[in-house]
């Protein structure tokens, strides 16, 4: 599903991501840091392993969110339409011999 352009409500062009989607990635990153930080703090209090839980939680949240954001940002480029170069447009794609 493509994001919609907030100015006119039409879908964003293929291969482009709307600014609202990018802002959403930033919010997701911040929320993940806070939630995993609190989960790490709970682990610290529950098991008495002072800074290990918070550090692990923050690193896990940041790394996981960064990975998912990277995948989401690179997906439009990988699945975008490919246009052959003009010089090779008349060449048969099954012909392996170069001119």
Residues with pLDDT less than 70, the chain? 1-9, 12-15, 76-93, 95-99
**Which residues make Cβ contacts (< 8 Å) with residue 50, sequence separation at least 6?**
44
Instruction: With CA atoms as reference, report the closest residue to 18 among 82, 83, 76.
Output: 76
The number of distinct structural domains making up the chain is 1
**Which residues make Cβ contacts (< 8 Å) with residue 73, sequence separation at least 6?**
17, 25
Residue 8 belongs to some domain of the structure = no
Identify the domain containing residue 40 by its residue range.
25-75
To which residue do tokens 């990018």 refer? 22
Residue 55 belongs to some domain of the structure = yes
pTM for this predicted structure: 0.63
Residue 44 belongs to some domain of the structure = yes
Residue 29 belongs to some domain of the structure = yes
Residue 46 belongs to some domain of the structure = yes
| pLDDT tens sequence across 50-75 | 899 999 999 999 999 999 999 988 88
| pLDDT score recorded for residue 1 | 47
């Amino acid at each position: 599903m493509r994001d919609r352009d907030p100015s006119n409500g039409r879908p964003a062009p293929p291969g482009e991501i709307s600014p609202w989607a990018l802002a959403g990635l930033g919010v997701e990153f911040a929320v993940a840091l806070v939630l995993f930080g609190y989960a790490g703090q709970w682990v610290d209090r529950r098991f008495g392993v002072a800074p290990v839980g918070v550090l692990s939680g923050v690193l896990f949240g940041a790394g996981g969110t960064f990975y998912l954001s990277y995948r989401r940002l690179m997906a439009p480029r990988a699945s975008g339409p490919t246009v052959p170069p003009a010089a090779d447009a008349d060449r048969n794609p099954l012909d392996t011999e170069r001119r």
